[in-house]
Amino acid sequence: MKLIRLSTLETVQLEDGFLWPDEFSWKAIEQNQAYAMDGSLIIQEGKKKSGRPITLQPADTGMGWIKLRQLRTVRAWSVLQDENFELQFEQPHDNRKFTVKFNHQDGALEADPVKGIPAVSLDDYYNVTLRFTELNDGD
């Protein structure tokens, strides 16, 4: 998996050990139901054009690692305004691509050192949870 900053085409390689727990829980259709005075059901619905959450979290503590040097890049990217990214899955069964923004409303980035102590090298690993919002063309 990789994250690409679209304005510069810089890339950060991400481990494939992430789960996408909210992949199937997003409601693409928004619906309101009400009853008219005569008792008939009135349904109003519309399809959302963007905004699907993409949360990437480690499957367990032995997965979803990122080196401190890459984490610093991702952290710097996460605080940029008006930046879009492409998230690319790179597995034989899944090569989807998504245009995303960091989801600050729900906490864009969480990271904890794998060893449970402060890093002593830029090559030390962190468990990371990343939160994005999927965008569609024109967003």
The model carries a pTM of: 0.87
The pLDDT confidence band at residue 6, using thresholds 50, 70 and 90, is very high
Which residues touch 117 (CB under 8 Å, ≥6 apart)? none
The pLDDT confidence band at residue 61, using thresholds 50, 70 and 90, is confident
Q: How far apart are CA 77 and CA 80, in angstroms?
A: 5
- pLDDT above 60: residue 139: no
CATH of domain 2-135: 2.40.30
Locate the domains of the chain by residue range.
Answer: 2-135
Angle at 98 between CA 80 and CA 26, to 5 degrees: 100
Which pLDDT score, from 0 to 100, does residue 16 have? 80
| Residue 94 DSSP symbol | B
- pLDDT above 50: residue 138: no
- Reported as a single tens digit per residue, the pLDDT across 69-103 is 999 999 999 999 999 999 999 988 899 999 999 99
- The fraction of the chain above a pLDDT of 70, given in percent, is 98
Q: How far apart are CA 129 and CA 111, in angstroms?
A: 7
CB 69 within 8 A of CB 122: yes
CA distances from 48 to 38, 51, 134 (A): 30, 8, 11
3-state secondary structure of 59: coil
Which pLDDT score, from 0 to 100, does residue 137 have? 54
Residue owning tokens 């990217």:
77
- pLDDT above 80: residue 18: yes
